[in-house]
Structures are given as C-alpha cells and as structure tokens.
Amino acid sequence: MSLSRRRFLQTSGAAASGLVLGFYVPPRGPGRYVHAAEPFAPNAFVRIATDDVITIIVNQSEMGQGVYTSLPMLIAEELDADWKSIQVEPAPLAPEYAHFLFRLQLTGGSSSITSSWQPFRTAGATARALLVEAAAQEWGVDKDTLTTDAGYVVNVDKRASYGELAAKAATLPVPENVPLKDPKDFKLIGTNVKRIEGPSKVNGEAEFSMDVKLDGMLTAVVAHPPVCGGSVKKFDASKAEAVPGVVKVKPIGSGIAVIAKDFWTARIARDELEIEWDDGANANLSTEALRTEYRALADTEGMVAEDEGDADTALGEASKTLEAVYEVPFLAHAPMEPLNAVAHVREDGCDIWAGTQGQSIDQMVASHITGLKPEQIKIHTTLLGGGFGRRANVTSDFVADAVQVANGEGVPVKTIWTREDDIQCGYFRPMFVHKLKAGVDADGMPSAWHQRLVGQSIMEGTPFADMTIKDGVDAASVEGATDMPYAIPNRRIEVHNANKTLTVLWWRSVGHTHTGFVNESFLDEVAHAGGKDPYELRRELLKDQPRHLHVLELAAEKAGWGTPLPEGRARGIAMRKSFETFVAEVAEVSVEGGKVRVHKVVAAIDCGIAINPWNVVAQVESAIVFGLTAALHGELTLDKGRVQQSNFHDYPMLRMDEMPEIEVHVVESDEPPTGVGEPGVPPIAPAVANALFTLTGKRVRRLPIRL
C-alpha cells in the first residue's frame, strides 16, 4: 500500500507511537461545503444559498498572506453576515476577477487589500441591499425600517435569514451606488479573526498543487541548462528510457523532459540523460566579474532618477563628507513548496492546476504553446506553499514547462521542479552596488546626499514596463531611494541598468530589498559622522512626516531605546515606508562564537485600518524572518555561468535556534488599509547592521553579514 505522510497523519490518530492529539475541525476551507442549488449571486464575488451558506469568491491567490480570510471579511462586514456561515472559493480565470488595479488576474505588490477595499465592500453592501429589499417586499414594509444582523434581516416582530430571502433577492434589479458603512460602525473589520484555511492546513485537507492527483496522471521532471540562457545542443536518452517506469523522454523549450509513473523514477532517469549543452552568452559570467563591472560603473555618471537642490555644491560646502560603497547579492525566492503544476492538454481545451500568482499570464502562455484559444485554457488555482513573487513571472516558466510536457500526451502530467532546479535555474533578486556620498553641516545635520545604483532592471521586458520605466529609469529599482522621507535638502539619485542577460524578478518588497538596507545603513553612518544619536537624527529629519515619525517613536519606545542592555548587546533602528505602509524596527543583537545573534526585534506598523490585526502581526513576523534569512545567510554566487548554491544546505533558511523574539505593535488608524505582506522586510537588515556597528564599531556594507 502506498501511504503518503499527509494521509498517515490524517488517519493515524492515537494509534501512532508518541503523542498524537486527535481532534475534529469542521471543514471551512475552499470548496468544502455542499450548498443548496440556485444560490443568490448579485455579483461575481458573493453567492448566498438557501441553506444560509455564504460563498465568497476570492480573486487573489492564497500563499500564506491571509487573503482567504481578510478579503471575505470586507464583504462579510458590509453584508452583516454571520462569519460562521462564510466559505471561500478561489476565483476561476475570468475577466470579472481581474486585479482591480493591474487589470490582470495577478497577486502581488502587497496590493490585495488596497485594491479590493472598495470593490469587495461594495459587493457585500450590494448583496445586503437586495436582501433588505426582498424582505421589505415580502413583509410589505418600508425597507428603511429594517436592519440586518449576523445573517438575518430584522423587523420589529419578524426576522428572516439570508438563505430564506435568497430566492426573492435573486429576482430583484441590482442597485447602483449603494452606501458603505462608516468605519466607526464596523463590527468585524478590525477584530482578530482566525484564518479560514487554517484548519485544513492542520488536518491535512488543504490542497496545494503538489497534492493534486488525477486519474491516469504521470509525473515529469525537466533537465534545464546549467547556465542561465543556455540551450540543448544534442542529447542521448537511451539510458534514461531504459529506467523501469519511464514513459517518455521529450525535448521542450526549456530543456529535456522525462515523463514517468512517479517523481522518483523521473528524477533517477533524468540523471541518466546524456546532454551536451550550449552555455550561451553567460558561459563565463561570474559574481566577481560582475562586482568589478558594477563598481566601475558606480564611478561613472548614471541616468538621473531624482535631483533635488544641488547635491554637488552642497557636498563641496559641507563641514564633513563621507563616502561608502554597499553591495547586495543575487537571491533566490526559495518557497517551501517547490515549483510544480499539473496540465491536461486535450484537443478541445487545457486544464492547469497550479499554485500560481499570475493566472492571466499563465493563460496567455498556455494558449501560445497549445494553439488553443485563451478561453479554452482553464486555471485551477490551489493554495500556494509560498510565493514571494516567484510564482508570478512573465514567462510563467514552471507552468509553461508543465503545458509543454503534457501537450500531446493525452493524460494529465504533473511537472515538478526540484529545489535545485529553482535555485540554480530560476529567477533571482538582482545583485546591486550602491555608491553613496553625504555631507554634514556644522550642526551635524545632513546637507547633501548623492547615491548611484548599479544593477539589473526588474521591470524591463514585463507587462509593467510602460508603467514603471521612464527615460530608462526603472522605478522598481530605485524605489525607496528616490522617495526618501528624510528632510535632506540636496539629493541626487542616479542609476545604471547593468547586465541584462540573467533572469531577474521581483522578490518580496522588490526594490526596497536593497534600497532599504543601503539607505537606512548609510543614514546611520551620517548620524555618527555628525555626532548624532541615529534615532534622534531620524526624529529630527521626520518632524514633518507624522506617520513615519509615529512608527519610529513607537518602535523605539517599546524597545526601550536608550535604556541599558546586558553586556555584549546593542540595538539598531531602521524605518521604511513601502507599499504605502510605514514600518520601523529595532533589533537587539550580540555576537556569539563569531556569529551574529539577533535576540529580539520590536516592530511598529501603520498600515491604515488593520482588517485583521492578528494577520498583520503574523505578516510582519513572517517578513522579519524572511528578511533576516537574507541578511544573515542569503547569497547566490556565479562561476562560469553556474549558480554555486543548490539547496538549503548551502542556501540556508533561518533555523529555529536563530529565531529572535518578535514583538509587533499595530498602529490604530482611520486611514484606508495598505499592504502588509512585504513592508516588514526592508527594515530588518539595516536594523541588525546598525546594531552591529554600535556593538563592534565595524560597518556592514555587504550582505549577507559576514563577521
């Protein structure tokens, strides 16, 4: 009998050795209810069945950021629904489910709540208005005399559930311009709500694309070029085809695919392939060569991204000047669930099961591969085992692999990338070099700031290039450098777009991943050069930026900035606005056995109205872990075009024994909600680096941190 680990956990209960706690959680994950027929569906996002089950269709992918809970909360609030009656379904691929800003079905940019704040509330309010109208007509009363509460329309002496009114409401014309609640009247928004999909992840019922099993399904792996941009010159598949269980070996656009009865057979057979590769233009590419090239470019004038005042003159007149070069490496996204997708290509259509962030792009790519019309391509979005931007790229590489492999096979095929495939052959956060100069006046205040960035454009060649690239300057590369909140009067920011041959991609917090580290670290240098406390200098420079200032002061206060610490420890502080959200973090650090030890991180976040404060806290904690992993460990290096790292043994994640205590403070706000998935990442690396300077007197100007 073949028994998966997940099925073992589901069925073993107390029979297994050791301590196993068995419990039953009513299923509330996506698609778990069988609800009554003919539901009331006033719009694309709400269905109310006669059995009172309310289904919210979510058009954003759930990859751990909580959209299957926070987005339904928006609708449930305006609908005055009973939260226990809510279930969630992932949206099918259709125009009405396009991202409200991007106009593609896409999840990214910490924009799910921001973009859906009005549309989802309107969807809920519209459904409520129809239910109230239905009750008013049934009872022959003025609708203004009716109220709603927890899934019921209420009159003085009558009440009817939404399910009871669903059939009548479905016959009524949909109203326009329905009023929305005043935030002071919110009952659900702003409260702590448990994640809807949480129980299914605990009991093993949650379905990720890796879990998809279909009748007759085969499994494939692909041998990709060892050098980015390489291609197959010739291959011999005879040894691979001789492995028992192998069904076929076939070339596809990205390499050579091995299709077999299961993953391990395909994986073993792939090792038997004899392939001669053409390494292409990147055959001699190395990290050291790129560092040399980038540092040389940093000494030359670049494209102007921002020019305020007269930085050159102010530098010449400064009482003191300082200069530094900062570097950040290539990084992998490394989601815990390796890339994979299932495709079933037929003459009349193609079905794809994938944990994807970019359904619209996947559809276009699959249509091009198969020759089918876009509407014949169906995307079934599963839960994602992490994304961080990797599962949304312009080539849909892992989905494209799956479709090419399955094309012509007549059966479903699951194509799996090993972690080595992704880390060595995937998309990377680009490497950057920053050269900075600053001037300090006689009072110790910064009077000039000159910054030159060198790195590969992220947005070039993407559908967003027209929106983000102006006069050659990629806004995603310089974000956070060009919109600096600190009141430094003379600023000049320049950029070089370098090395366009590698596949690079947005990575959780995009350009802020490097500008956050560099700018907040160099500002710390400026503070010390002027004899200022880094926190107090920031306060002075942010006096006209109330929301920046508030999170800075809150984090410092809660961390006890300025109070004594145990011997051998120090604090560092950093602040960042990204995705319209304000975050400050204070890291408490020591050096133990020649290694950095982060003991505690205190964070303050202002994301406007916090839809689900528990989720905001969880996302900041997650972002800190993600950013700290990169700060302490993250680095991809190239030699002769080949990535030297391959898996978690040499591209390590933060381990449990490295985990700091994290304390998150959410600012109460009446401002519209903004993103929380990414903004916690940028401040952590500079907060740690700044603490290390206080502790050791040595600056960290290159990541990952190496003592």
Percent of the chain with pLDDT strictly greater than 70:
95
Is the CB of residue 359 less than 8 Å from the CB of residue 341? no
159-202 pLDDT, tens digit each: 999 999 999 999 999 999 999 999 999 999 999 999 999 999 99
Q: Is residue 11 part of a domain?
A: no
**pTM to 2 decimals?**
0.93
Residue 464: which pLDDT band, with cuts at 50, 70 and 90?
A: confident
pLDDT exceeds 60 at position 250: yes
Region 422-438: what's the mean pLDDT?
96
Do 104 and 148 have their domain in common? yes
Residue 625: its pLDDT value, please?
98
Do 366 and 308 have their domain in common? no
DSSP, collapsed to helix, strand or coil, labels residue 667 as coil
Do 135 and 65 have their domain in common? yes
Residue 13: its pLDDT value, please?
44
Region 269-286: what's the mean pLDDT?
96
Residue 429: which pLDDT band, with cuts at 50, 70 and 90?
A: very high
What backbone torsions phi and psi does residue 693 show, to the nearest 5 degrees? -65, -45
Least confidently predicted of 16-30, 250-264, 467-481, 600-614: 16-30
Percent of the chain with pLDDT strictly greater than 90:
92
Residue 461: its pLDDT value, please?
85
Q: Is residue 577 part of a domain?
A: yes
Residue 462: which pLDDT band, with cuts at 50, 70 and 90?
A: confident
Residue 501: its pLDDT value, please?
85
Residue with tokens 């029979």: 15
Residue 39: its pLDDT value, please?
83
pLDDT exceeds 70 at position 17: no
496-523 pLDDT, tens digit each: 999 888 899 999 999 999 999 999 999 9
193-219 pLDDT, tens digit each: 999 999 999 999 999 999 999 999 999
Distance of CA 558 to the CA centre of its chain: 28
Do 498 and 528 have their domain in common? yes
Q: Is residue 549 part of a domain?
A: yes
pLDDT exceeds 70 at position 442: yes
Name the token pair of 234.
Answer: 């010739």
Do 484 and 468 have their domain in common? yes
Do 362 and 403 have their domain in common? yes
Region 446-452: what's the mean pLDDT?
98
- What distance in Å separates the CA atoms of residue 636 and residue 455, rounded to the nearest whole number? 15
Q: Nearest CA to 571 among 690, 449, 440, 402?
A: 690
Do 581 and 647 have their domain in common? yes
Structural domain boundaries, residue 124: 40-203
Residue 10: which pLDDT band, with cuts at 50, 70 and 90?
A: low
DSSP, collapsed to helix, strand or coil, labels residue 609 as coil
Is the CB of residue 213 less than 8 Å from the CB of residue 388? no
Sheet of strand 152-154: strand arrangement: 147-149, 152-154, 159-161
* Residue 396: CATH number of its domain: 3.30.365.10
Q: Is residue 35 part of a domain?
A: no
Do 170 and 191 have their domain in common? yes
